[in-house]
Structures are given as structure tokens and as C-alpha cells.
């Protein structure tokens, strides 16, 4: 069994949330969870093709980080586990579902599918099928923000970039090269490692000589922090601090969020390598149930209100499925369109 990491003694103080903030965060996490459950259903019914990697269990990381940024202004680079990142960025459930169905109305016009969600409008820089492929893209986005602000004198360019990737990517050369450049140039970027303990079927602790990824930031004189990725308030607190530092010109942060995927690597994975005991331990820490209990305990919401949000989100997802089914296929005459930027 993979050993559960003990969080550092320096306890992170989660920032308080208002009722509106709490309900917004709860809705975002529920949207991600129920959307992925519907994806599994549609995949097994033959409505989706290729590889589909679900985010179930990791919702607190997406919500905690992306909802701490400026929607439609700050940049987000994802991985092949990108549906929920897109939803947190504000891409509609209709557009994400249609993309999964390969339809023209999808956020990538049906050309990207599950692993290549993209939205210029929402500053979503894309999902990337290759491990660590999005890290240098995110670095470029962060560089242009600083270059436009300082070299070109445009004070309006104070955007921050969040770059998501998994624990497996932290053994890739691009990870180290980009951390070095980001620290050297004090770029406004958050490197967010979603350490779900497994890189496909390889346990993280077996794949690296230094399993505590956040400590690798010290090699580049960069801020590095470890956070409970099953606690949306803890993630939010760390993200808010990192975003503020980045926007103030104080450079990048490496955030290692300790989390867990509740399903196999992809929907084609029978998930036989992880023990039942390990799965049970992590599923007991379900971030949505944990946050729902917090909202009720703090008198920020009632059980009835949360159930109503669940109902509304499910209706949104059912509508997205119908929209995707009714949407047109890409026109063959547009085969070569979208290869280059259009005016």
C-alpha cells in the first residue's frame, strides 16, 4: 500500500468564507463530480470515444485554485484530466460535454475531445495529452504577462497563470527547466502538482528518490508548500497567498496538493493495482462531503439548500447531454480549419 503522507507540523489556517463564497465553491465541486459521473455513463454507452480520464475525488484542488483567480483574465493550463478544470474556468457544461461527444459546438469545435479542452475566452490554455507538456506553455503565458507589463509598459497586464500537472510530471525534465526559468525571471505562475499518488499504475513513492515534490522548489529558491488536496479551504488559502505573491511581482510558487482519484487512471483502466484498503481510506476523506459538513456546521447553508444545488447541477448536466446529442458533427469541408489563427 502507498503510505499516506503526514502533512507538515506548520498547520495551514484556512481563510474564512462567506455564505456566497461557500455556496459557489460547493456548487463548483458538485458540478465537477456529477459531470464526471455522467461522463462515465456516456462513455460506457458508447457516446464518447478514445481515452477519458476522470477527475473524481480531486475537485477541491480545481475549485480551491481556479476560484481564487480572476475569471476570464488569469490563465490556466491543464492536463489530460481537464474536464473539471474547464468547468471551474467557466466553460459551460454544454461546451465541455459537446467536446467530449466530438461535436462542432464543443469548446474545441469537436477537434480536441477529452484530453484537449481549450477556450480562449476563458483563458484556458488547453489540456495536454503528453505528461508535462503543458508546463512550458504555462511558462510562456506567465512570461508574456511580465514582459508586457515591464518591458512594454502596460500596467494592465498583471495576470497570473496556474499550471496543473500530476506527480508523474515532476520527474520530467521540463518540470525542472521551467521551475528554474520561472524563479530566475520571477514569473507570476503557480505550479500546482496534483499528487494523487499514482502515475497510471506506478506508485509515486516508487518512481522518485525524493517523493516530497514541494521540497524541490528549494533548489530554485522558490516558495514551495504542501497542502491537503482533499480540503478545499486549505487549498484556497494556499492559492490565494500564492496568487497575491505572483501578482505583486514576488515570483512563482510550487504547490503540492495531496489528493486522490477515486477511479482508475482512465475509464479503460480496470484499477486493479490499488488496494481496496487504500481506496477506502481516501474515499472516507471525500472533499465534497467534507465541505458540505463544514457549511452546515458553520450555519452557512442547510442540508436542504445543498440538496437543491445538487438538483440544479444535475439538471444542468442533463441539459448538457441533450445539447451534445442534438449538436451537429464537424463539417468535413472544415477539415483544415483551426490549424492556424483566424482574424
Q: How many CA atoms does the CB half-sphere of 336 hold within 13 Å?
A: 0
Does 150 fall in a domain?
yes
170-173: long-range pairs with CB below 8 Å, 24+? 170/208, 170/213, 170/216, 171/207, 171/208, 172/131, 172/132, 172/135
Does 120 fall in a domain?
no
pLDDT tens for the 343 residues of the chain, in order: 444 565 543 344 456 899 999 999 999 999 999 999 999 999 999 999 899 999 999 999 999 999 999 999 999 999 999 999 999 999 999 999 999 999 999 999 999 999 999 999 999 999 999 999 999 999 999 999 999 999 999 988 999 999 999 999 999 999 999 999 999 999 999 999 999 999 999 999 999 999 999 999 999 999 999 999 999 999 999 999 999 999 999 999 999 999 999 999 999 999 999 999 999 999 999 999 999 999 999 999 999 999 999 999 999 999 999 999 999 999 999 999 988 888 7
Does 204 fall in a domain?
yes
pTM: 0.95
Q: Can you tell me the distance from the alpha carbon of 159 to that of 123, in angstroms, rounded to the nearest whole number?
A: 10
What radius of gyration do the chain's Cα atoms show? 19
Does 334 fall in a domain?
no
Does 101 fall in a domain?
no
Domain that holds residue 287: 19-86+125-321
Q: Can you tell me the distance from the alpha carbon of 206 to that of 202, in angstroms, rounded to the nearest whole number?
A: 7
Q: In sequence order, which residues have a C-beta less than 8 Å from that of residue 181 and are 6 or more positions away?
A: 139, 187
What is the b/e burial string over 69-93, where b = at least 16 CB atoms within 10 angstroms of the residue's CB?
beeeebbbbbbbbbbbbbbbbbbbb
| CATH number, domain containing residue 185 | 3.40.50.970
Does 314 fall in a domain?
yes
Does 182 fall in a domain?
yes
Tally of domains within the chain: 1
Q: What is the pLDDT of residue 342?
A: 82
Does 340 fall in a domain?
no
Amino acid at each position: 500500500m502507498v503510505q499516506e503522507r503526514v502533512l507538515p507540523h506548520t498547520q495551514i489556517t484556512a481563510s474564512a468564507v462567506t455564505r456566497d463564497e461557500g455556496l459557489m465553491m460547493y456548487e463548483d465541486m458538485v458540478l465537477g463530480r456529477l459531470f464526471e459521473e455522467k461522463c462515465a455513463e456516456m462513455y460506457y454507452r458508447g457516446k464518447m470515444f478514445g481515452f477519458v480520464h476522470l477527475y473524481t475525488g480531486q475537485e477541491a484542488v480545481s475549485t480551491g485554485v481556479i476560484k481564487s483567480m480572476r475569471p476570464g483574465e488569469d490563465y490556466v493550463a491543464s492536463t489530460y484530466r481537464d474536464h473539471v478544470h474547464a468547468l471551474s474556468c467557466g466553460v459551460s457544461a454544454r461546451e465541455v460535454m459537446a467536446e467530449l461527444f466530438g461535436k462542432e459546438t464543443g469548446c474545441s469545435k469537436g477537434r480536441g475531445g477529452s484530453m484537449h479542452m481549450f477556450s480562449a475566452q476563458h483563458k484556458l490554455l488547453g489540456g495536454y495529452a503528453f505528461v508535462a507538456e503543458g508546463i512550458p506553455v504555462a511558462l510562456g503565458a506567465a512570461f508574456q504577462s511580465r514582459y508586457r507589463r515591464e518591458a512594454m509598459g502596460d500596467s494592465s497586464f498583471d495576470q497570473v497563470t496556474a499550471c496543473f500537472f500530476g506527480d508523474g510530471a515532476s520527474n520530467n525534465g521540463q518540470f525542472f527547466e521551467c521551475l528554474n526559468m520561472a524563479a530566475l525571471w520571477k514569473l507570476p505562475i503557480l505550479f500546482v502538482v496534483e499528487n494523487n499518488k499514482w502515475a497510471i499504475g506506478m506508485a509515486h513513492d516508487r518512481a522518485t528518490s525524493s517523493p516530497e515534490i514541494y521540497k524541490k522548489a528549494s533548489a530554485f529558491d522558490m516558495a514551495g508548500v504542501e497542502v491537503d488536496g482533499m480540503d478545499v479551504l486549505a487549498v484556497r488559502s494556499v492559492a490565494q497567498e500564492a496568487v497575491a505573491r505572483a501578482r505583486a511581482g514576488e515570483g512563482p510558487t510550487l504547490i503540492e496538493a495531496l489528493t486522490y482519484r477515486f477511479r482508475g487512471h482512465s475509464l479503460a483502466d480496470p484499477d486493479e493495482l490499488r488496494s481496496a484498503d487504500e481506496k477506502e481510506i481516501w474515499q472516507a476523506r471525500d472533499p465534497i462531503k467534507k465541505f458540505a459538513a463544514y457549511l452546515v456546521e458553520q450555519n452557512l447553508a442547510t442540508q436542504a439548500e445543498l440538496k437543491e444545488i445538487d438538483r440544479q447541477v444535475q439538471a444542468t448536466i442533463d441539459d448538457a447531454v441533450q445539447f451534445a446529442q442534438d449538436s451537429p458533427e464537424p463539417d468535413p469541408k472544415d477539415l483544415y480549419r483551426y490549424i492556424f489563427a483566424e482574424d
